[in-house]
C-alpha cells in the first residue's frame, strides 16, 4: 500500500503536534500493515517490533499511541501488558489492543489503568477506525486530498467515529425522556408536589426481579434473531442491563466475554458500549480478589435501583416485554 494513498496534514506545521506510534505484533505481515496505515495517517512510527520487545522491559520511551496485536498471551505476556498499561497511564499514551475472544478476559483483566481501546478479531477497517478515534482527539489534524475510493471509505469511517463518540459521550441516564421505559434517577428530597404541602420522600427500593423472569425476557428477545436479522433489533445497552440484572439477583459474576455475547452485537462494539456505560456510572469494573489478572462487570448500585424500580413498575406484564 502506498503511503500516499491517504494522509493527514497539520493545519499549522509549527503548532501541530507530532504524534509518534509504537507497534507491537508477532505476525510480521500484520505488523507491516499496521505500520503502513499509521504512516499513511501522517504519524511517525517510533518503534515496530514483536511482542517479545515488551517482555524485555525496555525502558525506552514509547509512542503517544501504542498499537498492540496479541491474539494470545501467556502469563509473562500478560504481566508485560499490565506493566505497559501502567506506563501508558503515567505517560498519557493511548493504548489500542487487538486480541481474540479466547484471550479477551485476560487482556481486559490486566488493563485497568489506561482505559485502552480493545478490539476483538478486528478487520483492517476497524483498526483504522480505532486510530481515527485517537486522531479525533487532536483537533490540529485535518484531512488532505485522497487518491483512492477505498482509502476514502476508510477515512470517512474515521470521521464518522468522531461523531459517534460525541453522541455516546453526551448520553446521560438523566437525559432520558420521562415518558421512556425507565429513568435511572429518583426524585430529589427537595422536590415538592404541586400542592407544595410536604416533601416527597424516596420510597424504599424494591427488590430485584426474579432472575428466572429476566432470563425469560432475554430468551424472548433472542428468539427474534431466528426470524429477522439480528442487527434489526440491536439494543446492546438494554441487553447488557438485563443480563447484569439477572446475574446480580443470582449473585453471579459476569465476565466481559460473557457480557459481550449477551449484548447481541459484535465484541468490539459491545466493548465500546461497556466502556461508555461504565463512564456514565451504569456499570462497574469489579476486580477478582483471588486473581488480579481477572475482572468482572457488574451493575452499579444506581443502575440496580433503576432496574428494580422498573420491574416493580411494570409488574406482572414484564414477561411480555421484549
Beta pairing partners, 95: 66
Question: Which domains are seen in the chain, by residue range?
Answer: 8-169 (3.40.50.2300), 211-320 (1.10.10.10)
Element (H, E) at 198: none
More confident residue, 174 or 38: 38
Model confidence at 125, pLDDT cuts 50, 70, 90, reads confident
Lowest mean pLDDT among 86-90, 190-194, 217-221, 250-254: 190-194
- Tens-digit pLDDT profile for residues 230-247: 777 788 899 999 999 999
Q: In whole numbers, what is the pLDDT of the chain averaged over residues?
A: 76
Q: Compute the distance between CA of residue 13 and CA of residue 19 in angstroms, rounded to an integer.
A: 13
pLDDT value for 240: 94
Average pLDDT over residues 80-89: 89
Average pLDDT over residues 188-198: 45
pLDDT value for 222: 86
More confident residue, 44 or 142: 44
Q: How many CB atoms lie within 10 A of CB 110?
A: 23
More confident residue, 266 or 141: 266
pLDDT value for 13: 41
Highest mean pLDDT among 7-11, 147-151, 276-280: 276-280
Cell of 34: 499496521
Element (H, E) at 301: helix 301-314
Element (H, E) at 150: helix 149-169
The closest of 44, 34, 33, 35 to 8, measured between CA atoms, is: 44
pTM: 0.70
pLDDT value for 230: 72
pLDDT above 90 as % of the chain: 30
pLDDT value for 190: 44
Model confidence at 97, pLDDT cuts 50, 70, 90, reads very high
pLDDT value for 73: 86
pLDDT value for 202: 56
Average pLDDT over residues 114-133: 89
pLDDT value for 15: 41
Average pLDDT over residues 146-154: 46
pLDDT value for 46: 87
What string of H, E and C letters represents the secondary structure of 78-129?
Answer: HHHHHHHHHHHHHHCCEEEEEECHHHHHHHHHHCCCCCCEEEECCCHHHHHH
pLDDT value for 6: 36
- Tens-digit pLDDT profile for residues 30-58: 999 999 888 887 788 988 888 887 776 65
Amino acid at each position: 500500500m502506498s503511503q500516499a494513498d491517504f494522509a493527514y496534514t497539520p493545519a499549522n506545521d509549527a503548532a501541530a503536534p507530532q504524534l509518534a506510534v509504537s507497534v507491537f505484533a508477532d505476525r510480521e505481515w500484520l505488523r507491516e500493515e499496521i505500520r503502513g496505515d499509521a504512516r499513511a495517517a501522517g504519524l511517525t512510527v517510533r518503534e515496530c517490533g514483536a511482542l517479545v520487545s515488551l517482555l524485555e522491559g525496555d525502558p525506552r520511551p514509547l509512542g503517544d499511541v501504542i498499537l498492540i496485536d496479541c491474539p494470545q498471551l501467556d502469563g509473562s505476556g500478560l504481566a508485560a501488558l499490565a506493566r505497559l498499561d501502567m506506563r501508558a497511564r503515567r505517560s498519557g499514551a493511548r493504548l489500542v489492543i487487538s486480541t481474540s475472544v479466547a484471550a479477551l478476559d485476560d487482556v481486559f483483566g490486566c488493563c485497568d489503568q489506561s482505559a485502552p481501546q480493545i478490539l476483538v478479531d478486528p478487520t483492517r477497517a476497524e483498526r483504522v477506525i480505532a486510530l481515527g478515534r485517537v486522531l479525533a482527539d487532536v483537533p490540529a489534524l485535518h484531512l488532505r486530498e485522497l487518491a483512492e475510493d477505498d482509502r476514502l471509505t476508510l477515512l470517512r469511517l474515521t470521521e464518522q467515529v468522531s461523531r459517534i463518540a460525541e453522541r455516546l459521550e453526551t448520553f446521560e441516564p438523566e437525559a432520558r425522556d420521562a415518558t421512556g421505559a425507565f429513568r435511572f434517577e429518583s426524585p430529589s428530597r427537595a422536590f415538592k408536589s404541586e400542592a407544595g404541602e410536604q416533601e416527597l420522600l424516596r420510597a424504599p427500593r424494591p427488590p430485584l426481579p426474579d432472575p428466572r423472569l429476566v432470563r425469560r425476557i432475554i430468551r424472548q428477545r433472542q428468539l427474534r434473531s431466528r426470524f429477522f436479522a439480528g442487527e434489526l433489533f440491536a439494543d446492546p445497552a438494554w441487553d447488557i442491563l438485563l443480563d447484569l440484572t439477572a446475574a446480580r439477583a443470582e449473585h453471579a459474576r459476569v465476565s466481559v466475554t460473557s457480557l459481550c455475547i449477551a449484548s447481541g452485537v459484535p465484541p468490539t462494539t459491545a466493548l465500546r458500549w461497556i466502556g461508555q456505560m461504565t463512564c456514565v456510572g451504569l456499570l462497574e469494573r469489579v476486580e477478582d480478589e483471588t486473581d488480579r489478572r481477572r475482572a468482572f462487570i457488574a451493575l452499579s448500585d444506581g443502575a440496580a435501583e433503576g432496574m428494580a424500580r422498573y420491574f416493580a413498575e411494570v409488574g406482572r406484564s414484564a414477561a411480555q416485554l421484549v
